[in-house]
Each structure stands twice: as structure tokens, then as C-alpha cells.
Structure 1
Amino acid sequence: MSGKYDAYLVCLNGHGVNDSYYSSPAFNQKYCDRCGAETTKSCPNCQKDIEGDYKGNVVFLGGGPTSVPDICKHCGKDFPWRSKKKELRQNIQKADKDDLFLLDSIIEKFHLVAKQLRQRYDDRATLDIADEYDTQDLLHALLRIYFEDIRTEEWNPSYAGSSTRSDFLLKDQKIVIEVKKTRASLKAKQLGEQLIIDIAKYKTHPDCKVLYCFVYDPEGYISNPRGIENDLNNTTDGLKVTVRIIPKGH
């Protein structure tokens, strides 16, 4: 049997991006278009290529995309995404679930789900994420996978002379979720200003121990999403702030 395996470009969350790295370079990309994570073709431990599609004169029956391996065949070490998959399975089975981990898991897959919804049979009507309300509707449906008591548009205590509504309150977990979708008038500067106001507002909320700000940026208005996340992710005065901008890497 003559032939060899091409390299597999995989994101750090385990999504297969291109199983023919060398022979089909047009499909290579620095970031995953599903979740925004960085991609790699090499094992982080031994630096050998991740095994991708087989190139040769042998036809394998069954077809379909090449499965993403969990273990490096050269050094025997786990790839980074194997532990993430294992942790997710364990959390789903546990009675004392890690709520933030599960919430992160939903947010990481949000863009992938939004794209999949567009691929309906016979071009049937679907939910296209055009604005912030569409983003909220899809997130609300996904939250139902793991969470029971989801309060929508809860009134917040007065701040600076006015009261506002939060998008979602997970009351049992004491997590408030604020949802934003970027647009031409809501780019990095405006987004940062809004998030700073939100953080100050929720410090006095009796049911908020965690403020989770989900920013959906499918058009890539935010040029440095990790910078905004790093600047705002913090814990002060008993309030944990988590900012997630998805997808990244435009």
C-alpha cells in the first residue's frame, strides 16, 4: 500500500478545520470558523503533524470527513481538546454541575449552531441572527439544555436614577447574562463603555454573584476581542465578571 497521511488542521476545541493541510492549503485558516479558537496542525507535545486524510491509491469505504483524533499517534499524549470533551461529559452527569463551565460550553458552540440553522432542507424558513433579539432567542433555547429556572427581562435595582432589565437571570445559580450583538454603531469603543456601565450596575444586584456578558460578533467588528475580555474579566466587591466575545479571529 503506497501513500501517506496529510496533516490535519484542528482548532484547540477539537473542531476539524482541514484534514488536507498540505494538499488543499486554500482551506487552511488561523482561527476556527465554528468557535473562533486558534488552529494547529501539530501536536503541542512532540510537534509532529496531526494525522489527517490518507493520500494514496486505496479507497476507504464509508466516506465522510476524517475523524479528529484525541491522542497523538507519535508520542501517545492527549491532544488539548480531549480533556475538554471529558470534562463536559463529567459535568453533564454530575449533580453538582460546574455552571460556568456549562455556560461556556453553550457560548463556544453558539456560532456553530447559528450557522447550522441556516442549512435547512429545501431552504425552509429558519432563525437568522440579524439583531440582538434574535441572539437572545437562540441563547434562551440553548440555555434550556442545562438550566431549569431561567428568568427573562428581570427588573434590576435602580442605578444612576433609572431601572433597567437584564436579559437573563439564572436565579438558582445567581448568574445574570447580558447579551449584546455588535453592529456598525456598536463596535469596540461603544461596547466597552456599555460593559463598564453594566458591571457597575450589577454590583448592587441581590441575585447577581456572576455577571456573564455574551457578545456575539459574527461580522468581526471587534478587532481585539481577547484584549476586551482580558481587561474586563475580573472579580471585585464579590461580583465575578466574565466577558465572552464569539467568534474570534476575523
Structure 2
Amino acid sequence: MPKQILNVDLLGDDNDYLPPIYKFWFEHIIYDSMCKMVGIDTVCLQNIGCCIQNNDGVWGRWAYCNPERTKFTASPVSNPVFHRGLIYILLEDGKLAVFDECKDEEGFEILEKPRSFGFVYEDSYLVEFDQGELMVVLIGRRGSPINIFKLNEHTMEWEKMESLDGRAIFTGTLTTIMKKTVIKSMQNKIFLPRLYDWPDIVSADFVLRDGEFAFVESRRVDKKVKVGNDAYITNMWSYELGQRENPRDFWETERMDYSIWVDFSNS
């Protein structure tokens, strides 16, 4: 059985692997960063599995449960999120399904609130805000518009956000990262791994910045692609929150479904 990597040590030979899955196929696998992994199938039988890592870094066997199926359609692409000890899944209509591991035989509960967002979107990404709140990034057809909503847990309603208070969100994959930044050109922006005319081979420099190692795209492969009267540099695509004009350049980008964001900071 091929191994799947959880964490990679770029400076050494140590890699952390996912525990082997023998019995079921999971559509989602989420890790709570505290030695616990949960696998979820939301398409077929709605199987749920849990696996624990011991103090020696060895994963135990998967414990499976097959609760009575709750009928729902998960929002496409969006990944489940651990939040306040529960697992949340965004549904296609904007509602939330919640799973409590202490009540695993009951399966998912569909909350009466929040209700739908009231408009059609193409992609959605559920994430936990760095202040401990649930957020969702909604991407419209052809990239316009992009909306961010935060869940008000007192009223259980989605509230639209007009600012990220200096943060940047990196999403568009099953990994979403939110970072506070002092770089003004990155503040209140959403970055997606949609790329302009990306080459088959990407040259990168291995650099040391502020005591951290990272791969940085080399300027030696800087290419430009012309779209209409505008020229764009080969790069990831970004959208500034509150931007009013239609992001036409989104049309000319290529989706990178196998991309993943990597956070090199220790905080």
C-alpha cells in the first residue's frame, strides 16, 4: 500500500506519514494537530473513522463507525473543519452539518441555522478564523465576486466581512492559511493557486529569511502572458476584499487542484 505523507522535514530525512487506511475510502481526512486524525465519507455510506497517534509517533488502528446516514450534500471542494471540539462541514446550500465524536453513533446533525447565503457560488472554503470563529470564503463564477462571511455564533447567522484587518488568506485548496501581515500589498487579500501560463518546470531558490528556510520562485523564469491590452506576470492570482471591478484576469488563469499552501512560520 503506498504511503501518504502528512508532514515533511525539508532540512532532514524525517517525514510523518498518514496511517494506512484498509477498510474504507474517505472523501476527507482532517488532522487536529494534536495526534488525532478523522476520516469522513460524505458521499456513499457516510463512514467515519478516527485514528490516534501515541507518544512514540506511531499511529494506532482506525476505529470506524457507520452511523445512520443523514442526507445532505456537502459544498463542493470545501473541507471539514475542527471547531470547538466538533467537526463542521459546509453544505451546498450554506447550512452547516456538525459531528460530535462523543456521540458518534448519532452521526451528523444539520443545524437549523445558519441558512443559505442567498446567492449562487462556484467554490467555497470553510476555515477557522484566527480569533476562534468559523469563516467561509465564497468564490463566484469566473472569480467574481469573492465574499467572506463570518459565523455569528450568538445569532447563528452568516455576517459578511468587509475587511480582514490586515490579514491575508491563502486558500483555493484543501489547506487554508490565514496570516497577519505588515506588507500593505498583501493585506485584506485572498490568494488562490490559479496561475498565469505556468511552466512545466518551476525554478526556485532555497533561501533563508528571518531565520526560516523557504522555496522562492526564481525571477529567472519570469514570463509574461498578454490578455487583451494588459500584460500579467507569471504569478498566483489574488483578490482584494471590497474590490468592485470585475476581475477579468481570473478567466485566463489555470486551476491547480493539487496545490497546497505551506506555512513556514513557527507561530
TM-score when normalising by structure 1: 0.28
TM-score when normalising by structure 2: 0.26
